[in-house]
């Protein structure tokens, strides 16, 4: 089932406005959205309802939602191929979540690794944190999405989305497209610079953990030069024994699009200082033009409000149609 008269398939993805976007969000998600956007009809959401699953400051959440939308554009999202909007602006997301909740076994949610990790860090766990993947399933299947480009950490949630869509289709008749996950070859699992065994995460506040997309060049350089490595003094793609060096090489590979063989040849006989310098220059060169575009657009706050409104208006009919079909299947309307 193709989505439109043009025969192009639809892509859905999103990012939580739960902090400062980092190079993991860029290499795991946004860079690939931009690279492939012309092939599909794309729906790129700022998932503000998902951000509420852990405590947020309301004013900051509002501001970060706009910041993330501007960053999408600054990174190269083209509105000719993509709609950008805030999840909370289309009520069908919440409505379909309730319907899907009623067909999703509790045990499916309790075994999600992100839930277990995040719940362990909270003093009090809200129901929303457990229900996070059902809301994500609703986001995706509302738009008849065929593909979901995400980083490795979200793979389990997309698999759950497939299971929920299949279960609903089996119980109530063909209703939803069952989506496939798209994971990039490099950059799918960027680790913290301070601790290369942990995922780089926007909710971490540790200095030198993340490379934030809006960090100035000197901050980026400093964080990379201080990145944890090892004492083996060997440049190799060896995640088991050299997670810190592997992380830097992985970032470098994802940014430069070079092969592992090319990169190993480039760094042959060189030390970690040189590797870090090269990675820093590559990261700065990739982020600087994006930062310039971001700050230009940020001058006019009305601009992003308009983009979010137009984005929601453009895709709301798709979501409302699919919600209506689900409601009919369940006997809620004729």
Query: Which residues belong to the active site?
Result: 118, 199, 202
Eight-class DSSP state of 29 = I
> Residue 139 or residue 326: which is nearer to ligand AQP going by CB?
139
Tokens of 308: 């979010």
Alpha-helical runs (H) found in 9-52: 23-25, 31-36, 48-51
Residue 199 engages ligand AQP in binding (rule: CB under 6 A): yes
Residue 15 engages ligand AQP in binding (rule: CB under 6 A): yes
Among residues 209, 289, 294, which one has the least CA distance to residue 23?
209
Radius of gyration of the chain measured on its C-alpha atoms: 20
> Residue 18 or residue 42: which is nearer to ligand AQP going by CB?
18
Q: Which stretch binds ligand AQP (CB under 6 A): 10-18, 70-78, 216-224, 261-269?
A: 10-18
**One character per residue 154-183, x = contact with ligand AQP (rule: CB under 6 A):** x-----------------------------
Smallest gap from Cβ 188 to ligand AQP, in A, equals: 6
Residue, CB closest to ligand AQP: 28
Smallest gap from Cβ 270 to ligand AQP, in A, equals: 26
Tokens of 280: 């820093």
Q: What is the DSSP string of 167-212?
A: HHHHHH-S-S---EEE--SSSSSPBPSS-TTSB--TT---TTS--B
CB atoms within 10 A of CB 232: 12
Q: Phi and psi dihedrals of 191, rounded to 5? A: -100, 165
User: Quick one: which of 11, 138, 150, 177 contacts ligand AQP (CB under 6 A)?
Assistant: 150
> Residue 1 or residue 59: which is nearer to ligand AQP going by CB?
59
**One character per residue 28-47, x = contact with ligand AQP (rule: CB under 6 A):** xx------------------
Residue 67 engages ligand AQP in binding (rule: CB under 6 A): no
Smallest gap from Cβ 26 to ligand AQP, in A, equals: 8
Please list the helix, strand and coil fractions of the chain in percent, rounded to the nearest 5, in that order. Answer: 55, 10, 35
Smallest gap from Cβ 77 to ligand AQP, in A, equals: 14
Residue 190 engages ligand AQP in binding (rule: CB under 6 A): yes
Residue 19 engages ligand AQP in binding (rule: CB under 6 A): yes
Contact partners, residue 80, CB within 8 Å, separation at least 6: none
Strands (E) in the chain, as ranges, are 10-15, 41-46, 82-86, 147-149, 180-182
Eight-class DSSP state of 332 = S
Tokens 């690939």 appear where? 32
Number of residues that bind ligand AQP (CB under 6 A): 21
User: Quick one: which of 9, 11, 12, 24 contacts ligand AQP (CB under 6 A)?
Assistant: 24
Residue 251 engages ligand AQP in binding (rule: CB under 6 A): no
Residue 134 engages ligand AQP in binding (rule: CB under 6 A): no
> Residue 187 or residue 311: which is nearer to ligand AQP going by CB?
187
Q: Phi and psi dihedrals of 249, rounded to 5? A: -65, -40
Eight-class DSSP state of 26 = I
Sites of contact with ligand AQP (CB under 6 A)? 15-16, 18-19, 24-25, 27-29, 150-151, 153-154, 188-190, 199-203
């Amino acid at each position: 089932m193709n989505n439109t008269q043009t025969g192009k398939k639809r892509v859905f993805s999103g990012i939580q406005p739960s902090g400062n976007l980092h190079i993991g969000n860029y290499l795991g998600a946004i860079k690939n959205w931009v690279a492939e956007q012309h092939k599909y009809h794309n729906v790129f959401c700022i998932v503000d309802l998902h951000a509420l699953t852990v405590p947020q400051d309301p004013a900051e959440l509002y501001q970060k939602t706009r910041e993330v939308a501007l960053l999408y554009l600054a990174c190269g999202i083209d509105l000719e191929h993509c709609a950008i909007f805030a999840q909370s602006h289309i009520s069908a997301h919440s409505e379909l979540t309730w319907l899907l909740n009623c067909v999703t076994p509790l045990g499916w949610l309790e075994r999600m690794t992100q839930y277990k990790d995040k719940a362990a860090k909270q003093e009090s766990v809200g129901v929303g944190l457990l229900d996070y993947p059902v809301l994500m399933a609703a986001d995706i299947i509302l738009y008849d999405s065929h593909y979901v480009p995400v980083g490795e950490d979200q793979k389990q949630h997309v698999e759950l989305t497939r299971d929920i869509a299949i279960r609903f289709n089996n119980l109530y008749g063909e209703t939803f497209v069952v989506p496939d996950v798209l994971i990039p070859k490099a950059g799918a699992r960027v680790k913290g610079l301070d601790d290369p065994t942990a995922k780089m995460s926007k909710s971490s506040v540790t200095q030198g953990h993340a490379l934030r997309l809006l960090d100035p060049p000197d901050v980026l350089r400093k964080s990379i030069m201080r990145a944890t490595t090892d004492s083996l003094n060997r440049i190799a793609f060896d995640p088991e024994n050299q997670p810190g060096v592997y992380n830097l090489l992985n970032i470098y590979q994802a940014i430069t699009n070079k092969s592992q063989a090319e990169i190993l040849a480039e760094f042959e006989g060189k030390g970690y200082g040189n590797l870090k310098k090269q990675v820093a220059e590559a990261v700065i060169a990739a982020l600087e033009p994006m930062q310039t575009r971001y700050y230009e657009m940020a001058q006019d706050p009305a601009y992003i409000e308009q983009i979010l409104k137009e984005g929601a208006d453009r895709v709301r009919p798709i979501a409302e149609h699919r919600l209506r079909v689900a409601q009919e299947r369940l006997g809620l309307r004729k």
